[in-house]
Structure 1
Amino acid sequence: MKSNLHTIPPIDPVALGMGEPTPAWTARGTVAYQRISIALFLAGFATFSLLYCVQPLLPAFSSEFGIGAAQSSLALSLSTGLLAFSILCAGALSERAGRRGLMFASMTLAAVFNLVAAAAPSWHAILLARALEGFSLGGVPAVAMAYLAEEIHPNGLGLSMGLYVGGTAFGGMAGRVGMSIIAEYFSWRVAMTMIGVIDIAAAIAFVLLLPQSKNFVRTATFNGRQHMRSWGRHLSHPRLPIVFAIGCLVMGIFVTIYNYASFRLIAPPFNLTTTETGLIFSAYVFGIVASSWAGALADRLGRGPVLAAGSIIITLGLVLTLSHSLIAVITGIVVMTIGFFTAHSVASGWVGRMAQGAKGHASSLYLLAYYLGSSILGSAGGWFWQKHGWTSVIEFTCVLVAMSLGLSLVLWRKPVHFQPAST
């Protein structure tokens, strides 16, 4: 039987006197494309299941350690904050150390720190372990996006990026729902231990599946000035900083809603149990579908209109959560989740298309903004919850989504480097 493992044959422009060789892209529909997609799905799963496994445990932390909602959110905010800055270091390091090995090491080390957090004897020890876990994870997100942008043919990049984001959605859902159920019937420490073990296994499967890079060019030495120039070039791009800002805003909205919805739903008039509240995080299933759908649709219609649509969908979801009907609140969370993953999938894919060289640096800047949105804006949402309640949280997030929509419309009117996929 003939193997289906192949890449699109490159035309060598050097032989024609036209410049640099065309990259040996991996084509959509090949075995190599499928292996890359599955491996990066696992990377997304591990990253988000480790990062957000504490989110449904925030009320439990508040009760056990005698702290408020905003303080308990530090178990997540410290991880995402340290992750944001480590992404810059990891993106630069991957230019010398390589993509595949760095992602594997980061996934494994982060899972080990999650096991340490599960056994930590005090609140401050948990925060330290979670901070180190977030810093360790920096080697996955930016490098994964850069790997896809370098290896996947542009006509299939939207779908592959959507599948990676779908993996983050599945990991986020599995972490949240699984932790809620296990914590109620056993303990939050048992739940965190199980997530750590599962993600060590995911890291092993990842490294066995992912092919070595074909288009990655390793730098011979670490050059700090060169990295600064690369970051500066992306920040001076006419459109990339707008995409970075959108990533920051939509992530801030998403984390704020998921952080404090649990506090609202376990209180009157809903009075849900931990397990019942955790099951609401199954809304991530819709995020998995939406991210893949949005990525493929953006390849055909253009990223601007799909990105703007994501912000509009988020707004509809936020408004629905104001209801005192449990069904309406759950529907609102589902709709908001669909809008978030639509926007994030398109924005992350657009970074790879816009960046001209040093794609790892561009990806790291996007994810720096993305996780700073999770850390800073997510913590700010806790202040609104403690001082003014759910209505104030929604007002805060509606301001953020209005800003995101405005920036999306700017990109829609003046798109950069978009070429529709062939049918």
Structure 2
Amino acid sequence: MPTADTGAPAGIAGALSSAFSDPDDIRHRPGTGGYRRAMLALFAAGAATFALLYATQALLPAISSELNLTPAQASLTVSATTIGLAVAVLPVSALSEKWGRVQVMTVSVFAASLIALAVPFAPDLTTLVVLRAVQGVALAGLPATAMAYLGEEMHPKAVTSAMGLYVAGNSIGGMSSRVATGALSQAFGWRTALAAIGVVALLCAVVFRLLVPPATQFRPGPVNPGALLRTVGGHLGDPLLRRLYGIGLLLMTVFGAVYTVLGYRLLEAPFGLPESVVGMIFLVYLVGTCSSAAAGRLAGRLGRRGALYVGILTAVAGLLLSIADNLVAILLGLVLVTAGFFAGHAVASSSVSRTAKKGRAQASALYLAAYYVGNSLGGTLGASAYHAAGWNGTVVVGLAALTGAGGITLYATRKAISARREAAAA
């Protein structure tokens, strides 16, 4: 029997397999020690990933000021990282099929954290963007591989809730990096703020490696480019997976647009908030932590498509509310956008893992590639729309993306209803 990907002896894996006739019996279930260790480990890894990925987002106005950049130019420090991740996520995740999920995740989070310690020393925009792009490539080994790991190691009934908790870790990382960098930047400058995020991410990497359980369900295989292309082609040929990829892209377009532009809006008139206060606005990410963790329960009650409708409509309401030049309305709108986004993302990402019967890492990688392309599109389009038409322009970009996501979900609902009618008639 092949060894597990953390180097556990084959005899142990064989003993476990022979002890249980149903292989699902040895997967982690909620309440067990293995489940708790896995979720704490991936929570730390997810926090590090999002903290590094969006480390410059709250700092864009300060970077613009010091380097004399437009909002669109400064936003490249975010989009370069997400594009780097999107481009590399498929080939890097394929390596996890040979080297193991845990090994690839470990290398990824440590490499990205070490690069983060070099980012604050970038002398100009070009160097900063290049370092951030390389960091995105390094991060590519974690998100899709983590999703595949959860799909393999969690009991099927626990996959959605486990994915929600992993996404919750993402939201904690995104929130903490924005809040901390806003405060540190005002006190010590944006370069010091970025250095602090790098140190915290390195600590999260250590926690991940110490806690992550062995991958007992993983079986290594060779990396075959031809087989990889066939697997990718199969996933892209699956109508359900294509719809999930489209939903992920469109949801992230909204999120990228809102959070890229928000700092500029709140620093300018009529609000004129201090940089540290603007950073505190990102505490709203806690809402994402709660909504993503609750997404599994919501999907259990309403079905996955029902949960997606709730997430999309919640985000629409938040965008419309944010139009008002009132700080309370903007904050409430941001709460709704964040809650809707994270709920929709948790449902869509877990659906990818459940839908793909083989090549889960590649299926998750394609979802994340679409997801992070959406982030880059949202940041660029949102910043350009803000420059041309103010916040209302950014809202239009977000509403267009949400309309697309809702249309895809409605199409899937009608297909499902039609299939049920045909089955009943037969």
Note the C-alpha offset of 1:146.
Answer: 0.3
Distance in 2 between the 1:216 and 1:22 partners?
A: 13
SS of corresponding position for 2:385: helix
1:30 paired to 2:32: yes
How does 1:279-294 map onto structure 2 within 5 Å? 279-294=280-295
Distance in 1 between the 2:246 and 2:213 partners?
A: 32
CA distance 1:131–1:357, shift in 2 (3 Å): same
- The amino acid that maps onto 2:241 is L
Name the structure 2 match of 1:359: 360
Which of 180, 185, 188 is the aligned partner of 2:187? 185
How does 1:101-112 map onto structure 2 within 5 Å? 101-112=103-114
Distance in 2 between the 1:314 and 1:10 partners?
A: 48
Name the structure 2 match of 1:93: 95
Residues 284-342 of structure 1 deviation map (CA, whole Å, 9 limit, x = unaligned): 00100000001232245421100111000000000011001110011101110000001
Note the C-alpha offset of 1:238.
Answer: 2.1
Distance in 2 between the 1:187 and 1:405 partners?
A: 41
Kept in 2, the 8 Å contact 1:48–1:171? The answer is yes
Kept in 2, the 8 Å contact 1:250–1:344? The answer is yes
Kept in 2, the 8 Å contact 1:248–1:369? The answer is yes
Q: TM-score, normalised by structure 1?
A: 0.92
Kept in 1, the 8 Å contact 2:161–2:293? The answer is yes
How does 1:123-272 map onto structure 2 within 5 Å? 123-219=125-221, 221-272=222-273
Name the structure 2 match of 1:12: 21
CA distance 1:264–1:22, shift in 2 (3 Å): closer
Note the C-alpha offset of 1:123.
Answer: 1.8
CA distance 1:353–1:176, shift in 2 (3 Å): same
Deviates further, 165-174 or 194-203: 194-203
Distance in 2 between the 1:108 and 1:410 partners?
A: 42
Note the C-alpha offset of 1:392.
Answer: 1.1
Name the structure 2 match of 1:395: 396
CA distance 1:87–1:365, shift in 2 (3 Å): same
Kept in 1, the 8 Å contact 2:168–2:288? The answer is yes
Distance in 2 between the 1:155 and 1:268 partners?
A: 50
1:377 paired to 2:378: yes
Which of 65, 82, 85 is the aligned partner of 1:83? 85
Q: TM-score, normalised by structure 2?
A: 0.92
Aligned residues: 402
Which of 72, 75, 80 is the aligned partner of 1:73? 75
Name the structure 2 match of 1:343: 344
What percentage of residue pairs aligned between the two structures are identical? 39
Distance in 1 between the 2:56 and 2:416 partners?
A: 38
Which of 48, 59, 62 is the aligned partner of 1:60? 62
Residues 143-186 of structure 1 deviation map (CA, whole Å, 9 limit, x = unaligned): 00000001101111111000000000000000000000011011
Distance in 2 between the 1:370 and 1:260 partners?
A: 19
Note the C-alpha offset of 1:387.
Answer: 1.4
CA distance 1:213–1:304, shift in 2 (3 Å): same
Alpha-carbon RMSD: 1.7
Distance in 2 between the 1:414 and 1:162 partners?
A: 26
Residues 34-74 of structure 1 deviation map (CA, whole Å, 9 limit, x = unaligned): 11111111111000000111001101111111110001000
- The amino acid that maps onto 2:399 is C
Distance in 2 between the 1:9 and 1:318 partners?
A: 54
Unaligned runs of 5+ in 2: 1-15, 418-426
Name the structure 1 match of 2:4: none
Distance in 2 between the 1:30 and 1:382 partners?
A: 46
Name the structure 1 match of 2:117: 115
- The amino acid that maps onto 1:277 is V
Residues 333-364 of structure 1 deviation map (CA, whole Å, 9 limit, x = unaligned): 11100000010000001001111111001000
Name the structure 2 match of 1:18: none
Note the C-alpha offset of 1:414.
Answer: 4.3
- The amino acid that maps onto 1:331 is L
Name the structure 2 match of 1:334: 335
